[in-house]
Amino acid sequence: MALDFNEWQGVLRQHENSPYYPDFAVRWTSKSLNFPERIGFFNVGDLGVDSIDFLQRSSLSGFNITNTTLLKVLRFPYLRSVGDATHAGALVITGNTGLLEIDLPGPLTVQGALTITGNTALLALDLTNLLGAGSLTTTGNGAAVITLPANLPNTLTTFSFGGATSSGISLHDDPVLVAFLATALTTLTGPLNIFNNTAAGLTTITLGALANATSINASGDTHLTTLTISSLLHATGLIDVHNDVALTTLSLDGLLHADGGINASGDTLLTTPTLVALLDAGGLLDFNSSGLVTLTLTPLVTASLGIDAHACAAFTTLTMSNFLPTNGTTINFNGCALTAVSVNKILARAVANAAYISGTINTAGGTSSAPTGQGITDKATLIARGVTVLTN
Q: Quick one: pLDDT at residue 31?
A: 62
The Cα–Cα gap between 381 and 377 comes to 6
* DSSP at 282: S
Q: Quick one: pLDDT at residue 57?
A: 85
CB atoms within 10 A of CB 166: 21
Whether the CA torsion 15, 19, 24, 27 is positive or negative: it is negative
The residues, ordered by sequence, that sit 6+ positions from 328 with a Cβ below 8 Å of its Cβ are 358, 359
Q: Which amino acid is at 85?
A: A
The Cα–Cα gap between 331 and 306 comes to 6
The Cα–Cα gap between 54 and 57 comes to 9
16: left (phi over 0), alpha (psi -120 to 50) or beta: alpha
Per-residue pLDDT reduced to its tens digit, 144-176: 899 999 999 999 999 999 999 999 999 999 999
Q: Quick one: pLDDT at residue 18?
A: 46
In the Cβ-directed half-sphere of 9, how many Cα atoms lie within 13 Å?
A: 11
Q: Across-strand partners of 169? A: 192
Q: Which amino acid is at 286?
A: D
Give every residue of the chain whose pLDDT is below 50, as ranges.
1-16, 18-26
Q: Quick one: pLDDT at residue 142?
A: 87
Q: Across-strand partners of 51? A: 32, 73
Q: Which amino acid is at 187?
A: T
Q: How far does the chain reach from its first CA to its final CA, in angstroms?
A: 89
Q: Across-strand partners of 102? A: 74
Domain ranges in the chain are 1-147, 297-392
Chain Cα centroid distance, residue 244: 15
* 3-class SS of residue 332: strand
The Cα–Cα gap between 44 and 173 comes to 37
The Cα–Cα gap between 196 and 151 comes to 13
Q: Quick one: pLDDT at residue 27?
A: 52
